[in-house]
Structure 1
Amino acid sequence: MAVGVLSGQVNGWPPQCVCDSDAESASPPLDTPPSPLSAVNGNSTNGVNGTNGHRSHPQPSSRFIDTLTNLGLGPSNSAHAGVSVFTAILPSTDGYVARSDFLQLRLQDFPFAISKMVECVGPLKKYTACRLSPASVNSEDGLASLIEQAAGVIQWGGLAASVSILGLQQYLLGLTHELRDRLNNAPWLAPHPIARKRVALIRGRPNLTAGGPVYRAARALGLDLVIVDDEGHWLQPDTDDNRLHREAFLAVDMTEDSGVADRITAAIARYPLPIHGVFTLSDNFFVTAARVAAALGLPTNPVSAFETSVDKYRSRLLQDAPGHTARVSSVDELNALLCSSPAGNGGHTPFTPVYPLIVKPTKGWSSECVSKVSSPSDLALAVEKATSRHGSAAVIEPFFDGPEIDVNFVLLDGEILFWEIADEPPCQADKRDASVLDTFSPEALTLPSALPEAEQQVARETLRELLVRVGFRTGVFHVEARVVNSGCEYRDVGGGVVDFVRKKEDDGEKAACKLIEINARPPGYRVSVPSRHTYGVDFFAAHMLAAVGDHDRLRLAARPFEHACEGRTSGAQYWSRLVYVPAPKEGVVRWSSGLSPCEQLKRRRPDLREKIVVAVDYCVPGERVGLYTDGARTYVAHLLVCSRVSRRDAIEAGEEVLRSFTIEVEEEGCNQAAV
């Protein structure tokens, strides 16, 4: 989709003059990448008219000034004497608004300061393209008319009145190039009318922090959201705030028994308005949601695919070598298995553990109760820990030595619409001397991946093939894996920075990708943050569009930025590092200063604040935290930092954030606090 961008500047306020744009060039079809000129229109001087670098005198009000003011744009006082730069977004094709907060999504972390931004379109509404002509940009009435027809208007951070013509031209040129990379393939307008649909979320999110990205995406997409959950959920009361997040709440007994799918199906069937799709973000309800969708005749992947993905034993068998994987329900069953002979095992290959190995619950998530076992003496302890969680059996499988990666896919009928790899640096249990008590809880995440391109392609093709073989065809999938025989390994590269370096010796073995687990959903709300900011792809939006069978908008939602930079994956606007902050000790959280730990950090370290994109505190004053929650590390915050300089710069910033982060945790019964 071609997008016309009309950028203008004025000296002082009210404006004396504005930039214009040349006539719009011919627009290509929606799915054809437009040329730079058709994507971002501007004349050879970026439309600068009559600007001499000197402060102009305030002019009387005009229709153009009034139009901007009515949109809430412009300085807050008439004494402003700088240069104000505006951009009007003028799509050059007719279409229907696929997502109303498109600008907010695509312009996040824009390298030029944004003063104010107004999005002028509603979800699903028709937008009629504006036809630019020289006459329309050479008068204030003409410009006011264009602003009134714009799909969005941006006011950029003010420039000094003393800015030179050359400086202003360079500024506008950089602005234009950056807008082109974000809007050139903008997933904004669909060519055909979009029917309003309704989608049911099975298991509402536990709080607004976790659910906010889902609810906001649904509103922007024009999807009416119905929540299905237990009586007493926080979204049940029919308050103004709750109505902002959902259309309705269906109270259902969510006890995980054989009748839960029938109860949910009946509740949705009784709802007086049509529901076009169901989805869940809760791992233990994947199979239930698929059964409900199938019973109601709604879009879904096969129930059998979800049954395989949630069973760590069954999914491990997709790549298993005979005798390397086992499932036991107790320590007694483990002992019997280790003592069994081929004859007593039905003639099958006996289980022969090869250390180190992994023991984890057959059903589980978030690295809960996952153990690395390096010796036979620790095997029983690991099995006991795994079987105590969720009442499930334990799966015993090989430990694959190699870099761990998260690979996220958006699929449509088996076709990859978007994919990315994020690198997970070594965690506690990756150490060679790790004990059964060390965890696989992640410590950080780095995007884009620094694995060799050939190894990234191996991971892409291997994991996509596994997804399709299981039965998954359409949706968002978060797959965890390791790359064995990688040409890279993590080492200290200096200054305490641990990252990939090429191995000194090539052992001749080809790199292979080994599956850890399939999550048939977007990555968790905090792990989705780096993808949304780095690539501009909102997995929650894609997940809901897949659930209602809106394949046209699914294709649009899966389009990343078009940034291209040496050393960076195409589509990534920068390098990013997600940092998890673990609880320093057990106790009660205090905010002695009255500020949250994240806010304290940003005020104390303005040098880091400039690189922090997102900072989220998990704890409030008076809340008790422990070192571990359900067998995994307890985190008190996450922060995303970025760098347009280098991957190493992003990692260093992330490590400095982790070192500088402080949180008061007071031991119960004493006045001492840990930070």
Structure 2
Amino acid sequence: MEANLARHLDVGEGTSTFACTAHHHSIPPRTPGATAFWALHLDVLVSSRSAGSDPKSHHVTLPSSSGLARFLTSIRKAAAPKTASVSICLILPLDNGYVARSDFLQRRLECWEPALQTASFVPPTSFVEWVPFPAGGLSWTDLSVIVSRAVGVIHLCHGTPASDIDRELRNRLSFPWLLPDPIRPRRIAWVQGREDLQSIGRALEAAAALGIKLVILDEPGHWLQSSDSPGVHLREAFVEVDITPDSGLSGRVVAAVGSYPEPIDGVVTISDVRLAAVARASRELGLPTESPEAYDIAANKGRTRMLEEELRMGAVGATDTGVGKESFVLRHAGDLQSFLEGSSLDFPRIVKPVVGWSSECVSRVESEAELVAAVQRAADRHASSPTPSTAVVVEPYVAGPEVDANLVVLDGEVLFCDISDDFPSEADRAGAGLWANFEETQNVMPSALPASEQVGIREQLLRSVVAQGFKTGVFHCEARVRNSRYAYRANQEDGIVDLVPDAAATESNGEPVDVYLHEINARPPGWLETAAVLLAYGVDYYALRMLTAIGDDEAARIRALSKPFLDGPQFHLSVLMVHQGLAGVMRSRDAVGEYLDGHPDVQANVVDFYSRKKGGDVLEGHGSAALCWVGFLSVVSRESRRDLLRRVEHVAGQLTYEMETEDGRLMRVRGLSGKGLFALD
């Protein structure tokens, strides 16, 4: 519907006037269960002119403090000298309701290329009234009401077809962003504030948009304690607490929460070694929580494996004895010899500590001699930690494709699940050796596995989550797919490795697809993957984790914010890891940032990046028990998975960093290995 009304928007008290043309307004097709809305498209002149220069003009006066006034003023200030006009789109609701998340427009439109800038005008948890659609045509009397009641605005690329805009708005905004029942402001205690703003910034922003005040519990001197730290405005308070993950942690959390002067609605941590303690503290405080005993099982790879053997293989009593049909758990390295004397093992095998993270001290062994060495190494890893453990799990090496699967579960129902392909690691190569590791190389979403296998992954992992004792939460699961019809193979034309249909890995042998669980992390994935899923699918795991900590009262928001884009992920995305090589000291100030600054052609397809190791930081080296990556890039393609992997190979062949070795030599090192990085033979 067209409305060619060349008139003026008067911003402020007549001091700054923008001429605008309302050229299109429309209602995108409504999706059942989603908030209905309509869109008004305007072209706005950004050159400032006197309000009285055109005696025939009609004016819509906006208070200078209004969101739209500030938005237009910022666009005018940033506009290039020769810019005549800009295109904007106002979003108007056709339903009444309370806003589920105040920044929903920014988050759901992130990385949509035509959207240059977005702004929301609704405060957290506020009530929003519907704005009738002008079916009979738009008048400037209508517009004076419309601009004051828009929930948000989008600055669009000139020339974007209105039909494309309407289609994409329906894709991205078809979820219940307005809810019928009032939403109370909340307060959460967050245990462990993470290492820097980038690793927690999106969680802090999500809390503010949800109307949740955050109280950070962490050690004295943490960066979020200082009143002038970046992001400090996003937390309500900082409380000094000894968060050492020992037997006294739950009591210290109880004391801190109990003595806080304002009521706290829930306690959250995303630290693996603190999950069970926080659950125990929540239970003692009478706050919502999942079972602490479930967290105990999830945190223990030995108990997880034995429970899986009972569930899937009928290994009765495995959780009590530590011995299953395929795997076994050793309390100490010294127990291995007696086990070997009474058993015959096939190889290859996987050895890992029963506690741990990031694939630390996980080894693939090909013989009894390697098994003995790997068990000792794994047993030593956490022997001197605050909660000592020398236990080790030994299990078969499963050669099928590895996946990361994240599940949002509410009362035993999966609301959302994303599955991504965890590409082969160094230790997946035959003959890689005992000291090769399983550090991630790249994680590609969405998965290339066939839909039938993805359904099996989702269903089998949900059964495992429930079997451990969980009902609600966000769960990051890692698993391999046995008997998959897909396998990693190198393309004959360019050598690029990908997951493809494989004649040698079909279901012709009659074996059903089986999901071999490695671990359930009862929290969102790491922040780089959490950000990747938000960008690709529009679902924010940090926001959902905080809402699940508040309990049943937030079920409606959990359901609403678990809705992905209608058309699926907006691009193919690879979380590409930059690894350490030699031990020494990092000399590049910002390895990934410096690379991107020098390669603007690559920047256009990188939506997120970070250098964890900065200039002057110690590099532990490839053989360290504590694995630590140098940085990462989230590389995307809107064209195809094949195009994405070509872009990844391009980056892998170029990205280097400078370091000083332990013997004082300056070297420029490749953090990625090109085609060879993902090869299996």
1:40–1:179 Cα contact (<8 Å) kept:
no
Matched residue of 1:18: which SS?
Answer: strand
1:394 corresponding residue in structure 2: 392
Counterpart residue identity of residue 177, structure 1: R
Counterpart residue identity of residue 319, structure 1: E
2:187 corresponding residue in structure 1: 198
Can you list the C-alpha shifts for 1:34-53, whole angstroms capped at 9, x where unaligned? 7xxx55557xxx8999x9xx
2:247 corresponding residue in structure 1: 258
After TM superposition, give the deviation of residue 33 of structure 1 in Å. 4.4
After TM superposition, give the deviation of residue 668 of structure 1 in Å. 4.8
Counterpart residue identity of residue 644, structure 2: A
2:629 pairs with 627, 631, 635, which one?
A: 635
Counterpart residue identity of residue 551, structure 1: A
2:352–2:393 Cα contact (<8 Å) kept:
yes
1:492 pairs with 485, 490, 493, which one?
A: 490
1:84 corresponding residue in structure 2: 86
Q: Which 10-residue stretch deviates more, 305-314 or 503-512?
A: 503-512
After TM superposition, give the deviation of residue 16 of structure 1 in Å. 5.0
- CA-based RMSD of the aligned residues comes to 3.1
2:349 corresponding residue in structure 1: 357
Q: Distance in 2 between matches of 1:585 and 1:325?
A: 34
1:146 corresponding residue in structure 2: 146
After TM superposition, give the deviation of residue 480 of structure 1 in Å. 0.4
Q: Distance in 2 between matches of 1:372 and 1:86?
A: 56
* Structure 2 gap ranges (5+): 10-16, 314-323, 384-388, 670-681
2:563 corresponding residue in structure 1: 559
1:343 corresponding residue in structure 2: none
Matched residue of 1:15: which SS?
Answer: strand
2:167 pairs with 170, 177, 200, which one?
A: 177
After TM superposition, give the deviation of residue 574 of structure 1 in Å. 1.3
Counterpart residue identity of residue 534, structure 1: A
Q: Structure 1 pair 458/659, CA: closer, same or farther in 2 (3 Å)?
A: same
Q: Which 10-residue stretch deviates more, 582-591 or 487-496?
A: 582-591
Q: Distance in 2 between matches of 1:78 and 1:588?
A: 43
After TM superposition, give the deviation of residue 589 of structure 1 in Å. 2.3
1:373–1:379 Cα contact (<8 Å) kept:
yes
Q: Structure 1 pair 535/289, CA: closer, same or farther in 2 (3 Å)?
A: same
2:25–2:38 Cα contact (<8 Å) kept:
no
After TM superposition, give the deviation of residue 440 of structure 1 in Å. 0.6
1:346 corresponding residue in structure 2: none
2:601 corresponding residue in structure 1: 607
Q: Distance in 2 between matches of 1:618 and 1:624?
A: 11
2:304 corresponding residue in structure 1: 315
After TM superposition, give the deviation of residue 137 of structure 1 in Å. 2.9
1:504 corresponding residue in structure 2: 503
Q: Structure 1 pair 447/418, CA: closer, same or farther in 2 (3 Å)?
A: same
Q: Distance in 1 between matches of 2:625 and 2:28?
A: 60
1:286 corresponding residue in structure 2: 275
Matched, 1:189 2:183: no
Counterpart residue identity of residue 151, structure 1: V
Q: Structure 1 pair 669/339, CA: closer, same or farther in 2 (3 Å)?
A: closer
Matched, 1:103 2:74: no
1:5–1:89 Cα contact (<8 Å) kept:
no
1:455 corresponding residue in structure 2: 453
Q: Distance in 2 between matches of 1:224 and 1:8?
A: 44
Q: Structure 1 pair 255/143, CA: closer, same or farther in 2 (3 Å)?
A: same
1:369–1:385 Cα contact (<8 Å) kept:
yes
Q: Distance in 2 between matches of 1:47 and 1:83?
A: 10
Q: Distance in 1 between matches of 2:61 and 2:118?
A: 16
1:17 pairs with 14, 21, 31, which one?
A: 21
Q: Distance in 2 between matches of 1:602 and 1:527?
A: 20
Q: Distance in 1 between matches of 2:8 and 2:665?
A: 58
Aligned length: 625
Q: Which 10-residue stretch deviates more, 424-433 or 75-84?
A: 75-84
1:75 corresponding residue in structure 2: 76
How much identity, in percent, do the aligned residues show?
Answer: 35
TM-score if structure 1 supplies the norm length?
0.86
Matched residue of 1:532: which SS?
Answer: helix
Q: Distance in 2 between matches of 1:63 and 1:388?
A: 75
Matched residue of 1:153: which SS?
Answer: strand
Matched, 1:219 2:208: yes
Q: Which 10-residue stretch deviates more, 220-229 or 596-605?
A: 596-605
Q: Structure 1 pair 149/426, CA: closer, same or farther in 2 (3 Å)?
A: same
Q: Distance in 2 between matches of 1:88 and 1:245?
A: 27
2:361 pairs with 369, 374, 395, which one?
A: 369
Can you list the C-alpha shifts for 1:311-342, whole angstroms capped at 9, x where unaligned? 111100122253422222333211122224xx
TM-score if structure 2 supplies the norm length?
0.85
Q: Distance in 2 between matches of 1:537 and 1:551?
A: 16
Counterpart residue identity of residue 417, structure 1: L
Can you list the C-alpha shifts for 1:371-416, whole angstroms capped at 9, x where unaligned? 1111111011101111111222111112112000001000100011
Q: Distance in 1 between matches of 2:257 and 2:2?
A: 44
1:8–1:87 Cα contact (<8 Å) kept:
no
2:217 corresponding residue in structure 1: 228
Counterpart residue identity of residue 561, structure 1: F
Q: How does 1:263-274 map to 2 (within 5 A)?
A: 263-274=252-263
Q: Distance in 2 between matches of 1:19 and 1:511?
A: 55
Q: Distance in 1 between matches of 2:520 and 2:43?
A: 53
1:585 pairs with 582, 586, 590, which one?
A: 582
2:679 corresponding residue in structure 1: none
Q: Distance in 1 between matches of 2:512 and 2:547?
A: 38
Counterpart residue identity of residue 92, structure 2: L
Q: Which 10-residue stretch deviates more, 548-557 or 475-484?
A: 548-557
1:446–1:651 Cα contact (<8 Å) kept:
no
Q: Distance in 2 between matches of 1:374 and 1:633?
A: 22
Q: Structure 1 pair 73/131, CA: closer, same or farther in 2 (3 Å)?
A: farther
Q: Distance in 2 between matches of 1:659 and 1:495?
A: 14
1:381 pairs with 368, 373, 385, which one?
A: 373
Can you list the C-alpha shifts for 1:239-270, whole angstroms capped at 9, x where unaligned? 47564132122222333333221221122112
After TM superposition, give the deviation of residue 133 of structure 1 in Å. 2.2
After TM superposition, give the deviation of residue 228 of structure 1 in Å. 1.8
Counterpart residue identity of residue 480, structure 2: R
Q: Which 10-residue stretch deviates more, 248-257 or 481-490?
A: 248-257
1:665 corresponding residue in structure 2: 659
* Structure 1 gap ranges (5+): 52-56, 160-167, 341-350, 564-570
Q: Structure 1 pair 352/309, CA: closer, same or farther in 2 (3 Å)?
A: farther
After TM superposition, give the deviation of residue 144 of structure 1 in Å. 4.1
Q: Distance in 2 between matches of 1:538 and 1:636?
A: 25
Counterpart residue identity of residue 597, structure 1: A
1:6–1:88 Cα contact (<8 Å) kept:
no
Can you list the C-alpha shifts for 1:530-572, whole angstroms capped at 9, x where unaligned? 2111101110000000001111111111110112xxxxxxx21
Q: How does 1:393-432 map to 2 (within 5 A)?
A: 393-432=391-430
2:468 corresponding residue in structure 1: 470
Can you list the C-alpha shifts for 1:69-125, whole angstroms capped at 9, x where unaligned? 4433543369645442110011211111221111111011102141x3221111111
Q: Structure 1 pair 241/488, CA: closer, same or farther in 2 (3 Å)?
A: closer
Counterpart residue identity of residue 171, structure 2: D
Matched, 1:625 2:632: no
Q: Structure 1 pair 615/259, CA: closer, same or farther in 2 (3 Å)?
A: closer
2:298–2:521 Cα contact (<8 Å) kept:
yes
Can you list the C-alpha shifts for 1:157-212, whole angstroms capped at 9, x where unaligned? 3x3xxxxxxxx5x6221122111110122x42221111111111122212222121
Matched, 1:525 2:527: yes
1:9–1:83 Cα contact (<8 Å) kept:
no
Q: Structure 1 pair 145/303, CA: closer, same or farther in 2 (3 Å)?
A: same
Q: How does 1:564-579 map to 2 (within 5 A)?
A: 571-579=568-576
